[in-house]
Amino acid sequence: MQFLLLIADAAGEPPRMDVGVEDMGKFARELADLGVLKSAAGPLRPVAEGVRIRVQGGAPVVTDGPFAEAREVVGGYFVVEAADRAAAIELAKRCPYTRAGRVVVREAQHWRRSEPTVGSQYLLLYVQPVSDAAGRPERFQAMFAHTQEMIRRGIHLEGARLPPEFDARVESRGGRMLVTDGPFAESKEIIGGYVLIQAPHRAAAIEIAAQIPAASWGPIEVREVGRRSAP
């Protein structure tokens, strides 16, 4: 099974301590040595440089970051192979960022990775209301068909559906490792899935996001990737 380890901070709260790129790079190498690292991306460009796009009445509406409704700010991710949710949580506990913010563990259903070509890389996060998190079969079908189209166009790098029932937060506070299971009462929205794309520039990434069916159901957050690695 594949799991997404989202590196996140609580919106409006600074990191509790400084965890640098070198620390995260060491963690990535540790995962690779264990043979469980499938992919990684980050750090992302600051959320203030990102946008959210939603299609309403057939027209795209673009909102610049930061986003007042967001309760977590994603800074990057790792995709890992694990036998089950408990094993994925144990991997998350190894991440140094648990001392600074939180690592959110999500099962990456139907995870798919394509071969990259050229261009900058952008992470598109499918944001949806918690009340709509269960999803609908017709939406899955539309998204599957559109994913095949992105693969055909050569812009798809990887992506997955992220069902909310597997949500868990892992963080270290006061020397204790804390694991909190979702759903989280303070959250009004949830990331229902993601896709990593390649595009020549930010405007092209926004245009690609506007063409995704999910943009008609909820906002899609567009964030440029500062660094990406995979074994």
Sheet holding 189-199, edge to edge: 59-64, 51-56, 220-224, 120-129, 189-199, 156-161, 109-113
Domains in the chain: boundaries: 2-229
Could you give the angle at the alpha carbon of 22 between the alpha carbons of 90 and 168, nearest 5°?
Answer: 25
pLDDT in the model for residue 186:
61
Residue 51, token pair as written in the block = 């946008």
Q: Which residues pair with 39 in a beta bridge?
A: 79
Q: What's the mean pLDDT in 76-86?
A: 97
Length of the chain: 231
Q: Specify the range with the lowest mean pLDDT, choosing from 8-17, 61-70, 114-123, 211-220.
A: 114-123
Class of residue 196 by CB neighbours under 10 A (exposed 0-12, middle 13-18, buried 19+)? buried
Residue of 184, 196, 175, 6 whose CA lies nearest to 88? 6
Selected residue with higher pLDDT from 117 and 231: 117
What mean pLDDT value characterizes the chain? 90
Residue 116, token pair as written in the block = 């990259």
- Per-residue pLDDT band for 132 (boundaries 50, 70, 90) equals low
Q: What's the mean pLDDT in 51-70?
A: 91
Q: What's the mean pLDDT in 80-101?
A: 97
Q: Specify the range with the lowest mean pLDDT, choosing from 15-24, 70-79, 94-103, 186-195.
A: 186-195
Indicate whether 172 pLDDT > 90: yes
pLDDT in the model for residue 226:
86
Q: What's the mean pLDDT in 69-91?
A: 94
pLDDT in the model for residue 110:
92
Indicate whether 133 pLDDT > 70: no
According to CATH, the superfamily of the domain at 2-229 is Dimeric alpha+beta barrel (3.30.70.1060)
Indicate whether 230 pLDDT > 60: no
Percentage of residues of the chain with pLDDT beyond 90 = 72
Q: What's the mean pLDDT in 42-56?
A: 94
Sheet holding 176-181, edge to edge: 176-181, 168-173, 102-107, 2-10, 72-81, 37-41, 228-229
pLDDT in the model for residue 129:
76
Per residue in 173-224, pLDDT (tens digit) is: 988 999 998 766 566 788 999 999 999 999 999 999 999 999 999 999 999 9
Per residue in 101-124, pLDDT (tens digit) is: 999 999 999 999 987 666 799 999
Class of residue 56 by CB neighbours under 10 A (exposed 0-12, middle 13-18, buried 19+)? exposed
Rounded Cα distance, 132 and 180, in Å: 22
